[in-house]
Amino acid sequence: MYIVTKRPELSPVSLKKVAQHLRISDENENEYLDSLILAATDYVEQYCNIKIMTTHMAMELNVKANQPVKLLFGDLKSVESVYVDDILLDKTEYKVSYIKKSITFNESAEVVINFIVGTDDVLEVPAAIKQAILLIIGTFYEHREQQTELNLKEIPFGVENLLAKYRCF
């Protein structure tokens, strides 16, 4: 089971960029636009099974000795700690592969892994992901009422193609 232990402090797109994209100059919309940034970012992260900006995660599971466990959600920045029965494991008890985004344990056990994924630099976020977020925000903004013919479970036109290569399975 995965949980987010600390949400990102930054957004992949700025409020200013969103206002420009939607051609909005009225700052009275800022609070609403901030909520759309969060919703669209969550949408992209769920669709791609990644965390875009730096996110602290925890995972609890049973592991088998010498069998790698994938640490999903995109770019693995670090494994902060690993616990077995509330006891901190020494780093010699496991091996982290940042290339394979996995961790392998020397012994079988029930563990809690605390790790960090994502980027802390907005400039590292691919342009396609930023554009997909903007397209989704545009769709949410145009169809803010529930009574619409658009099914918001469907991805807006072009978003699927923009995000295809960033999906993690």
* SS3 letters across 14-67: CHHHHHHHHCCCCHHHHHHHHHHHHHHHHHHHHHHCECCECEEEEEEEEECCCC
DSSP tag of 50: B
Q: What is the pLDDT confidence band of residue 106, given thresholds at 50, 70 and 90?
A: very high
Per-residue model confidence (pLDDT) at position 99: 93
The helix or strand, by DSSP H or E, that contains position 134, with its residue range, turns out to be helix 127-142
CATH of domain 2-52+121-144+151-166: 1.10.3230.30
The ranges of the chain annotated as CATH 1.10.3230.30 are: 2-52+121-144+151-166
Per-residue model confidence (pLDDT) at position 154: 62
The model's pTM is 0.84
* Mean pLDDT (the chain, rounded): 91
